[in-house]
A and B are shown apart, each in its own frame.
Chain A
Amino acid sequence: MLETIKEYALERLAIDPQREQVEQRYFEHYLQLAEQAWDLLSTHDEHCGLAALDLDVDNLRAALQWAIKRQPGKALRLAGRLGPYWFIRGDPEALPWLDAALDAAGEQAPAADRAQAQLQRQGLLFARHQEEAARDAVEKALALFEQAGDHAGMAEALSNLAALASYDAEPDQASSYMETACREARLADVHGVLGRTVAMSAVFGPPAERAQAQEEATTLLAEAGDYRNLALLYSNSAYAALLEDQPSRAMHLLDLARRAASRIDSPFMSMIILGNLGLAELFTGNLSRARQAFQDQLRLCQGHAFHMGADEGLTGLAAITARGGDPKRAANLVRRRTRDRLPSRRA
């Protein structure tokens, strides 16, 4: 809409006796749009959901701003539904919006909506290296999903706790979370949840059950058209192969990951795959291809503020630089994160 027309319309609306009803309908329309798009994400029609939200991103922001002041409970619902979109698009405003909606809605808001917002805060916080805050958010999410009796939400929260346990080098803890997550996912009758949860179990679950989980997850995700999580399954399995010193197997899995990722538009997924590809090339001794992969990864990090991926890309390039005989530059680039060990937590 032309800016002058928009300004005129807003001036007229400001003095319209039906202003409140108009704004209410405006909000309800965009809440419905977000709900519909939410249903499309992680399906064959993911691109349609993203395109619909891209087209109305300014209106969605305005609707959210209005609801935070006038109907904070519904604002929280809308913010929660926009979470996946913000995450996919790498929107830096996502965390402030979620925080504002949670603050405005308070504890009287439905537990499921608060849980969803907390779950999404967790991912955004972790991507910013705020591990303690991220853990706090996902534990709040799990408690709220339990309160709401939401099995699908519990499965998602437990899966993320498993990933955090793996990050803390607590594989038994991760397996325990995943066993509980899979039980909850099978209780939930929600599209896509079981495939995503079993895919996580293929990586973080009990080692003896991972191969079977990978087979089941591949079938479930392909049937659902969830190419994002299919790509993630292959990429994660490739990373696990790297941990087991099997770079050739990792390369094969990354090829499958790239094919699945080519079906979606996800800089974040591409960034993860490129980092793993860089490591696989590095460990097979192909420094030139490793360099290309890490550079491509860093360019995506640069464009989308993916700091965690930047650590990996910088350290990968540091390794290549060290081998190339420039130790000063290598030392400048290397990122070696030191973390305080966190106390063990039980699922």
Chain B
Amino acid sequence: MFGAARAIGSPAVAHESIYARLERDYFAPARAAFGEVAWHRAQEAGAMLSYDHAIAYALEDTAEIAAQ
């Protein structure tokens, strides 16, 4: 992401086009295989998690998944 000038008042900016590329190359094929309804249900369930819980969940066993 982009970060802005100096430590003071620094927003950080994530661009839509990066997300669009992830969507095209990674998420769309997975969603097509999994099914739209199931995907959105799972996404909504994930969105209910607080940041702390989502991060803990993400760090749980990503290594194992990547190895597969």
- Tell me the A residues contacting B by CB distance below 8 Å: 41-42, 83-84, 87-88, 116, 119-123, 126-127, 134, 138, 141, 156-157, 159-160, 163-164, 166-167, 169, 196-197, 199-200, 203-204, 228-229, 232, 235-236, 239-240, 242-243, 266, 268-269, 272, 275-276, 279, 282-283, 287-288, 291, 295, 298-299, 301-302, 305, 307-336
A-B contact count (CB 8 A): 208
Which A residues are CB-close (under 8 A) to B11?
122-123, 126-127, 134, 160, 163-164, 167
Which of B1, B41, B47 is the one whose CB lies under 8 Å from A309? B1
> For the complex, what is the distance from the CA of A295 to the CA of B66, rounded to whole Å?
12
Which B residues are CB-close (under 8 A) to A316?
22
Check A42 against B7 for contact (C-beta < 8 Å).
Answer: yes
Check A333 against B58 for contact (C-beta < 8 Å).
Answer: yes
Interface secondary structure of A, over-half rule: helix
A-B contact pairs, 30 of them (CB 8 A): A87-B8, A123-B4, A123-B8, A134-B11, A156-B6, A156-B8, A163-B5, A163-B11, A204-B2, A229-B6, A232-B3, A283-B21, A287-B66, A301-B51, A308-B1, A308-B12, A309-B1, A314-B55, A315-B19, A319-B25, A320-B62, A323-B30, A324-B66, A327-B42, A330-B30, A331-B34, A331-B38, A331-B41, A331-B43, A332-B57
The answer to whether A196 and B22 touch (CB under 8 A), given A123-B11, A166-B13, A324-B68, is no
Q: How large is the interface on B (under 10, 10 to 19, 20 to 34, 35 or more residues)?
A: 35 or more
Least Cβ–Cβ distance between B34 and chain A, in angstroms? 4
Least Cβ–Cβ distance between B49 and chain A, in angstroms? 8
CB-nearest residue of chain A to B25: A319
